[in-house]
């Protein structure tokens, strides 16, 4: 199903994000993860795309696994990093020929060693340009884009960040998927400003369950997500006890998701880091009925 049709008629869209593993063992783990999460019938599973297309073949392979082995919808990521306009079109043609009908269109992070993003000669500078390219050349593709409830780290302020997001939507995006966050109040404030700005496509919150405090601290420091002081204190108190960290993180995610569903979000996008246990716990706690009408 294309992204543009997922959230119609009040359907709830559960989606899950994975990344191409680097090793055969990682591949085995991911296959097991996908098999366990497939029972929840997500609206789609998205697969990330390395800088400069460094994982592009594996991204296609995993998308095909999702569609052919699990009979689920796959969404490929695509970034502007290290690619010319022609190379991006070639990649999109490959995705389309492979039966992939959804793209998560992102600018992408600067390559390692670069502090700021610089397009290659003949490349694209902003995600809205990538959305325009996809919509013009592959008009039937479903397109998702990223939103930042606590603003993008490179953006000077929330107003400019929202203007940038509106450009992506106006260029043809079908839905917005947010960066991870741990303070629901920040998402709800962002949603209010989003609606006031006249953005009408579905806004889907992104949730990354905390399974290991040190790892999440690294991730939040890179993306600028706010970490609640009380949650940090509880996790620091058990920093030598990984099972306890897992339990605290999962319970926090369950509370987040319950509140968000109560606030009428159109879906939830889970960043699962190629592991299923935390996501399974959360979905079971929420009740399968919450996800029964997204099909």
What are the residue numbers of the active site? Answer: 17
| 274 Cβ contact list (under 8 Å, min separation 6) | 18, 19, 21, 26, 29, 30, 33
Pairing of strands 267-271, 13-18: parallel
Query: Helix axis angle, 158-170 relative to 127-137, nearest 10°?
Result: 10
Start-to-end CA distance of the chain, whole Å, equals 9
For every residue of 28-91, DSSP letters joined together read HHHHHHHHHHGGG--SEEEE---GGGTTHHHHHHHHHHHHHHS---EEEEEE-TT-BHHHHHHH
Check if the beta carbon of residue 132 is closer than 8 Å to that of residue 171: yes
Residue 75 C-beta-side C-alpha neighbours within 13 Å: 30
Helices (H) and strands (E) in the chain, counts: 11, 8
71: left (phi over 0), alpha (psi -120 to 50) or beta: left
User: Three-state DSSP class for 105?
Assistant: strand
The span from the CA of 149 to the CA of 130, in Å, is 21
């Amino acid at each position: 199903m294309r992204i543009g049709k997922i959230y119609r008629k009040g359907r709830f869209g559960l989606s899950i994000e994975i990344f191409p593993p680097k090793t055969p063992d990682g591949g085995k783990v991911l296959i097991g993860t996908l098999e366990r999460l497939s029972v929840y019938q997500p609206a789609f599973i998205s697969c990330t795309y390395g800088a400069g297309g460094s994982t592009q073949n594996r991204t296609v392979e995993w998308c095909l696994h999702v569609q052919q082995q699990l009979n689920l919808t796959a969404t490929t990521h695509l970034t502007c990093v290290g690619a010319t306009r022609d190379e991006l079109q070639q990649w999109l043609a490959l995705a389309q020929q492979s039966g992939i009908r959804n793209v998560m269109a992102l600018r992408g992070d600067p390559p390692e060693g670069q502090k700021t993003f610089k397009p290659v000669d003949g490349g694209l500078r902003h995600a809205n340009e990538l959305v325009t390219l996809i919509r013009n050349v592959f008009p039937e593709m479903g397109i998702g884009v990223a939103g930042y409830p606590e603003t993008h780290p490179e953006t000077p302020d929330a107003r400019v960040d929202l203007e940038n997001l509106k450009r992506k939507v106006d260029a043809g995006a079908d839905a917005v998927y947010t960066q991870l966050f741990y303070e629901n109040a920040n998402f709800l404030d962002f949603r209010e400003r989003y609606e006031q700005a006249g953005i009408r496509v579905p806004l889907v919150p992104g949730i990354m369950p905390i399974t290991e405090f040190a790892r999440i601290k690294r991730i939040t420091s890179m993306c600028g997500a706010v970490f609640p002081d009380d949650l940090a204190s509880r996790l620091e108190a058990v920093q030598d006890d990984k099972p306890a960290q897992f339990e605290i993180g999962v319970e926090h995610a369950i509370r987040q998701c319950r509140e968000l569903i109560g606030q009428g979000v159109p879906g939830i996008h889970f960043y699962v880091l190629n592991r299923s246990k935390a996501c399974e716990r959360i979905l079971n706690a929420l009740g399968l009925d919450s996800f029964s009408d997204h099909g």
